[in-house]
Amino acid sequence: MSAVLVLGPLVRHVDETTATVWVETDEATTVVVRAGDLEASAATFAVHGHHYALVDVEGLAPGTRTPYVVEVAGDQVWPEADSPFPAPVLATLDLGQPLRLAFGSCRVAAPHDAAGHARYGVDTLRAVGLGLSHQAEEDPEHPAPDVHWPHLVLMLGDQVYADETSEEMRAVIRGRRDPEQEPGYELKDYEEYAQLYRIAWRDPATRWLLSTLPSLMIFDDHDVRDDWNTSAAWRRDMAATSWWHDRIVGGLASYWVYQHLGNLTPSERAEDPLWRRVLDRDGPDELDLGADLDALAERADAEPDTYRWSYARDLGPQARLVVVDSRSARVLEDERRSMLDDEEKVWLEEQLRGDVEHLLIGTSLPFLMAPGFHHVEALVEVLAQGALGRRVARFGERVRRFADTEHWAAFQEGFASVGESVVSVATGERGRAPSTVCFLSGDVHHSYVAEAVPAEEDRRERAASRIVQAVCSPIRNPLPWYMRGALAVATRGWARPTGRLLGRLVPRSPVHWHVTDGPWFDNALAMLEIDETSLEMWWTTAAVRDGDHARPRLSQIARVRVEGADRGSAQP
């Protein structure tokens, strides 16, 4: 019996001439990708009884869309013989042309039927896949202009929910162990993560989209657990459980396989000591990375500076994308808190520079929150860290967990550091100032745009970059209705989180900001398009019409244009 394609293919890293294809198979085998006259292959590697391959197809022409097939053990497994979707393609970048980037976060895997739509709304990623496939069927080589086909999609966290599982995942858990024992219906280990990724990515429309649209990814808390790395006390509480060790090891190990490897260029992967073993293996036997990958994950959790999940992409002279790990690289000590450890700070400092038209910073957690929320989170951090005594600190810690006050605002050291770096870029102190510095984020289950200016008046006058925060969340997991009114109020006014707010307890902020557009509460996927010195952004949602739950219809929520290098347009 021939090997079977279990999951994928996903097109991951692409550049002008290379595309990486990720697959999971049911047994050890060799995976071949044929694209036009090109052929590339890779043997699988194993992790805890699962088999994976990354195939790098080289020699593609820039800015082209080349149909491809995947073969396993000599048999074509993708596209499937009876597929209703267009042929998948390897779409390379043309760095001399405008870039279009889709982004969003927070996507639960639930049935796409009346019950699933009533509870979670329409899965916007799947709906976009259906829309793009329809247009590609009409003209595979030249999709209609109104499709707005992106070059890349950036998934900004919560690709899977390890702590809020669907009924299908609960059935998997019941088939393996007693859910009456900890951790109940939350994920326990690598095997359950592998099943969860299958559920999340196997829907035919989503699977086709990810086999055609190159993707970049970064984790957020629900990929592991709500409030992941909120505080030192939180980590101590988790370490005291009987199940946390296997959860964090399984979560980070599966992230390395299913998400992280595909973010890297082939040369970056070759520098990873564990991946180097895959490249250097000798002999026909499949290499089993399970034990070594578990050790890497355990070490990365205990000592975050031993492994970097962040990465950066130069997307030609128009744009540079820096994707920041805002979860696992935190400093969580009783006496010190920072969103980024010292090693991560040094790395990020090197990435945040000018001499590019648009600097894009991807971080799952919004850097610029609604002003009201930012002030509250900064206050809670001060209280929880003991500024007013131990009793108040215990109360602050309870509030921190209950209200999820664990964004950049709740890590003022890291917030001030990154804010200062951004202002330095915007004022031309790190090379020619970009037209825009734009944060791209998710997590908060509503979407909006905010704009910032340097807090110091002289630097405000010198700033040549628009500093913008764009948020798209959720793809599918709407905010409860009772929270929307409070959030709308919190977005009002300018944020001036300086020492005046909390005396000398909070560092002065390098920026002031306000929400310029939104909030919007729909399930959505956002699109960012570079137009020379400006950015055009729009948010797309989907809805069921005429009872057709299988093919929801797309519509636009909002459209925002940010004109670059527009001084004085955002004075407080």
CA distance 31 to 52: 9
567 has pLDDT over 60: no
DSSP state of 147: G
523-540: pLDDT as tens digits: 999 999 998 899 999 999
Identify residue 305 by its one-letter amino acid code: D
Across the range 554-559, mean pLDDT stands at 94
Identify residue 191 by its one-letter amino acid code: E
pLDDT interval class at 498 (50, 70, 90):
low
Predicted local distance difference test score (pLDDT) of residue 137: 59
Query: Is position 315 within any domain?
Result: yes
Query: Is position 414 within any domain?
Result: yes
pLDDT interval class at 143 (50, 70, 90):
very low
Predicted local distance difference test score (pLDDT) of residue 482: 80
Query: Is position 78 within any domain?
Result: no
Is 462 strand, coil or helix?
helix
The angle at the Cα of 401, spanning 399 to 404, to the nearest 5 degrees, equals: 95
> What's the chain's Rg over C-alpha atoms?
23
Across the range 171-190, mean pLDDT stands at 97
Query: Is position 373 within any domain?
Result: yes
Is 499 strand, coil or helix?
coil
Tell whether the torsion through CA atoms of 273, 279, 284 and 286 is positive or negative. Answer: positive
Predicted local distance difference test score (pLDDT) of residue 145: 42
Neighbours of 117 (CB within 10 A): 20
Token pair belonging to 161? 């929910």
The residue written with tokens 């969580």 in the block is 332
Please state the three-class secondary structure of 56-113 as a single string: EEECCCCCCEEEEEEEECCEEEECCCCCCCCCCEEECCCCCCCCEEEEECCECCCCCC
Query: Is position 75 within any domain?
Result: no
388 has pLDDT over 80: no
pLDDT interval class at 353 (50, 70, 90):
very high
Contact 216, 155 (CB under 8 A): yes
Contact 200, 259 (CB under 8 A): no
Contact 524, 447 (CB under 8 A): yes
304-321: pLDDT as tens digits: 999 999 999 999 778 999
Report the share of the chain in percent with pLDDT over 70.
94
Predicted local distance difference test score (pLDDT) of residue 569: 42
Predicted local distance difference test score (pLDDT) of residue 330: 95
CA distance 293 to 310: 18
Please, is 31 exposed, middle or buried when counting C-beta atoms within 10 Å of its C-beta (0-12, 13-18, 19+)? Answer: buried
Predicted local distance difference test score (pLDDT) of residue 316: 77
Contact 371, 515 (CB under 8 A): yes
DSSP state of 333: -
216-238: pLDDT as tens digits: 999 999 999 999 999 999 999 99
Query: Is position 214 within any domain?
Result: no
Predicted local distance difference test score (pLDDT) of residue 172: 97
570 has pLDDT over 70: no
548 has pLDDT over 60: yes
| Peptide bond preceding 111 in cis form (omega within 30 of 0) | no
Mean of all residue pLDDT scores within the chain: 91
Q: Which residues contact 211 (CB under 8 A, 6 or more apart)?
A: 8, 9, 10, 11, 78, 79, 88
Report the share of the chain in percent with pLDDT over 90.
78
99-125: pLDDT as tens digits: 999 999 999 999 999 999 999 999 999
Contact 40, 55 (CB under 8 A): yes
Give the closest residue to 338 by CA, choosing from 349, 347, 327. Answer: 327
DSSP state of 431: B
- Provide the number of structural domains found in the chain: 1
CA distance 565 to 344: 29
Contact 381, 453 (CB under 8 A): no
CA distance 215 to 153: 5
Q: Which residues contact 347 (CB under 8 A, 6 or more apart)?
A: 308, 310
Query: Is position 248 within any domain?
Result: no
479 has pLDDT over 50: yes
Query: Is position 405 within any domain?
Result: yes
Across the range 479-484, mean pLDDT stands at 84
21-59: pLDDT as tens digits: 999 999 999 999 999 999 999 999 999 999 999 999 999
395-442: pLDDT as tens digits: 888 888 888 889 999 998 899 999 999 999 999 999 999 999 999 999
Domain containing residue 464: CATH number: 3.30.750.180
CA distance 137 to 212: 13
Contact 269, 275 (CB under 8 A): yes
Q: Which residues contact 174 (CB under 8 A, 6 or more apart)?
A: none
Token pair belonging to 461? 């006058």
Domain with 349, as residue range(s), is 98-155+309-572
Across the range 153-180, mean pLDDT stands at 97
Q: Report CA-CA distances (Å) from 36 to 33, 68, 142.
A: 10, 7, 18
Across the range 465-484, mean pLDDT stands at 93
Give the closest residue to 40 by CA, choosing from 9, 81, 4. Answer: 9
